Amino acid sequence: MRILPWNGYEGALSLTFDDGDVSQAKIALRILDGFKKKGTFFLTGKQNDFEEIWKKAWIDGHELGNHSMRHKLPIAGEEYDAYEEVVESKSLLEKRYESAVLTYAYPYSFVTDGQIRCLQNTHIGARAGDEEQVILKYEDDVDWYKIPSFVATSDTDVITYKELIEQAVEEKAWVVFMIHAIEGIGTGYEPIPQEVLKGVLAETAKTNIWVAPFGEVCAYWRAQKIVETAIRENKTENILWDVPAFFEKRTILKVELDLNEEYQFFQNGRNIVKNAEGFYEICFNEGTLQMADKKKG
C-alpha cells in the first residue's frame, strides 16, 4: 500500500500572505475566490482590522495563521516574550476570528529557539523565509518549524513563479510563496501586481498541482510521515499512531493498493471502501488502522 503524496496530486503549492494588509483583505481574497483557490493569511494579534472579512475568509475555507502578537524582533536588551508572541497570540486570534489557528510565520523570517520551543506542541508547522532550497520533495526530511518559502517581490515576473510551479510538479515537491501585498491599495511591503497573482493562479490550472493552504499541506505531509512510520514498525494487523494535539482539523490521507495487494481496511470497526477514483480515504485523526490481508484469509 502507498499513501499518495500531496493529496493525490503531483506537487503542492501554498500561497501565503503576511501582515493582514488592506490589499489582501480587499483584493487578494477576491482574486483567489475568483479562481476558487484557498490561501493562508498570517495575521498578528495586536492588529484587528478587517475582522469580519477574515472571519468570512475562514468560513470560506481560507486559512488564518499566526504571525505573532506584535510582529517584533527579539533584540537583545529589549523586552521579548516568546510565549506571548507565539502561544498567547494563537489563542487570541482563534478567539477573535472564531477559527482554528494551526500555523505560524516568523516576523521578518527571524527564527529563534525561543519561538520554536513555544511552537512545538501548539502549532503544526511554521513558515520561515527564503532558505537556499525552497522546493521540498515529499521524501525529504523536513523541519516542521523551519519550512522555507519563496519571497515574492514587486518585480518577480509570472515566469519565475511558473518555473517554480513546474519544478514542484516535476520533483513531486511542495513550494510555498510568501506575499506581502497586492498593488492597487495601501502601502504594504513589495506589492505584487494583480495581473501577476492572476497569472500565477492561471499557471496552476495548467499543471496537476495541489493548491492548498499552508496548514493543510503541512498536516497532510506530517500525517503521512507518521502513518508510514507506524506501518513500517507494525507487527500486527492493527496499526496505531499518536495524534498530536495540534491536529485540530480532520486530515484525510489517500491510500492506494499495489496490483498484487488485497487488503481490507478498517478504522474503529468501520470498513473503508475504495472510492470512485480508486483509492481509500484514511482519517488520520482516528489514530488507528486495521489492515486485513485477504490473501492470508
- Number of neighbouring beta carbons within 10 Å of residue 142: 17
Whole-angstrom Cα distance, residue 197 to residue 249? 28
Q: How far is the CB of 91 from Zn ion (least distance, A)?
A: 20
Q: How far is the CB of 82 from Zn ion (least distance, A)?
A: 16
* 19 near Zn ion, judged by CB under 5 A: yes
Contact 67, 100 (CB under 8 A): no
Buried b (16+ CB within 10 A) or exposed e, 171-187: bbbbbbbbbbbbbeeee
User: Quick one: which of 6, 18, 188, 267 contacts Zn ion (CB under 5 A)?
Assistant: 18
For Zn ion, the closer CB: 152 or 289:
152
User: Residues binding Zn ion: what is the number (CB under 5 A)?
Assistant: 2
Beta strands in the chain (DSSP E): 2-3, 11-18, 40-43, 63-66, 103-105, 125-127, 136-137, 150-151, 173-179, 181-182, 191-192, 209-211, 238-240, 252-256, 263-267, 270-272, 280-283, 288-293
Q: How far is the CB of 178 from Zn ion (least distance, A)?
A: 9
Span near Zn ion by CB under 5 A; candidates 18-26, 82-90, 209-217, 243-251? 18-26
Q: How far is the CB of 189 from Zn ion (least distance, A)?
A: 8
Tell me, rounded to whole angstroms, the distance of Cα 56 from its chain centroid: 19
For Zn ion, the closer CB: 19 or 216:
19
Using CB atoms, what's the residue nearest to Zn ion? 18
Q: How far is the CB of 65 from Zn ion (least distance, A)?
A: 11
Q: Residue 227 is placed in which grid cell?
A: 502513518
Whole-angstrom Cα distance, residue 146 to residue 246? 17
In sequence order, what are the residues at sequence separation of 6 or more whose Cβ sits closer than 8 angstroms to the Cβ of residue 158?
Answer: 196, 199, 200, 203
Q: How far is the CB of 47 from Zn ion (least distance, A)?
A: 10
For Zn ion, the closer CB: 173 or 181:
181
Q: Using alpha carbons, select from 2, 7, 24 the residue that is nearest to residue 188.
A: 24
Span near Zn ion by CB under 5 A; candidates 14-22, 135-143, 239-247, 259-267? 14-22
For Zn ion, the closer CB: 181 or 196:
181
For Zn ion, the closer CB: 25 or 209:
25
Span near Zn ion by CB under 5 A; candidates 10-18, 207-215, 247-255, 282-290? 10-18
Q: How far is the CB of 107 from Zn ion (least distance, A)?
A: 5
Coil, strand or helix at 23: helix
Cα-flanking dihedrals φ and ψ of residue 172, to 5°? 50, 60
For Zn ion, the closer CB: 18 or 216:
18
* 21 near Zn ion, judged by CB under 5 A: no
User: Which residues in this chain contact Zn ion in the complex, by CB under 5 A?
Assistant: 18-19
